Amino acid sequence: MICDYVLHPNGVMRRSMRMDDQPYSPAANRPPNWMKGVPAAAAARRRNADLAALRLLPAVLGLQAEGVQTLHALAAGLNALGVRTVRNTQWTPTAVRRLLDRAAQLGAAQLGAAQLGEG
């Protein structure tokens, strides 16, 4: 196959081919597993987030056992206890909601309630 790279007026390098050549495919020029690490990295981020949620959940469940129910109150309670988020920032209602959503997805809310003696 004969191909040349041509600089077009808009500054983009483009592959030029003769009519008898195969159509250009960017995937044909990539290494076969060029995105091999990306799904593994995403799985590692999910696993780390799940572990962090499980580690932080007892503090939230403790506040809920004391009668704190709203997201604003839970965030204020976590900040008052000195509990920091994974990124070492203060808690916001949105962060608390996301933590509770992740815990619900993991089924850890029921496990945590059973550990506190409520279930």
Question: 47 lies in a domain?
Answer: yes
Question: 10 lies in a domain?
Answer: no
Is the CB of residue 117 less than 8 Å from the CB of residue 109? no
Q: At residue 13, does pLDDT exceed 70?
A: no
Structure confidence at residue 1 (pLDDT): 45
Q: How many CA atoms lie within 13 A of 45 on its CB side?
A: 6
Structure confidence at residue 46 (pLDDT): 84
Question: 27 lies in a domain?
Answer: no
Give the phi and the psi of residue 29 in degrees, each rounded to 5: -95, 0
Give the phi and the psi of residue 14 in degrees, each rounded to 5: -135, 145
Question: 22 lies in a domain?
Answer: no
Q: At residue 4, does pLDDT exceed 60?
A: no
The number of beta carbons lying within 10 Å of the beta carbon of residue 98 is: 14
> Residues 50-109: pLDDT tens digits?
888 889 999 999 999 999 999 999 999 999 999 999 889 999 999 999 999 998 888 854
- Residue-number span of the structural domain to which 53 is assigned: 38-115
Question: 2 lies in a domain?
Answer: no
| Mean pLDDT of all residues in 32-55 | 76
Question: 72 lies in a domain?
Answer: yes
Structure confidence at residue 86 (pLDDT): 87
Segment holding 24, helix H or strand E: none
Question: 11 lies in a domain?
Answer: no
Question: 23 lies in a domain?
Answer: no
Terminal-residue alpha carbon distance, the chain: 70
Structure confidence at residue 11 (pLDDT): 56
Number of domains in the chain: 1
| Mean pLDDT of all residues in 25-30 | 55
Report helix, strand or coil for 14. Answer: strand
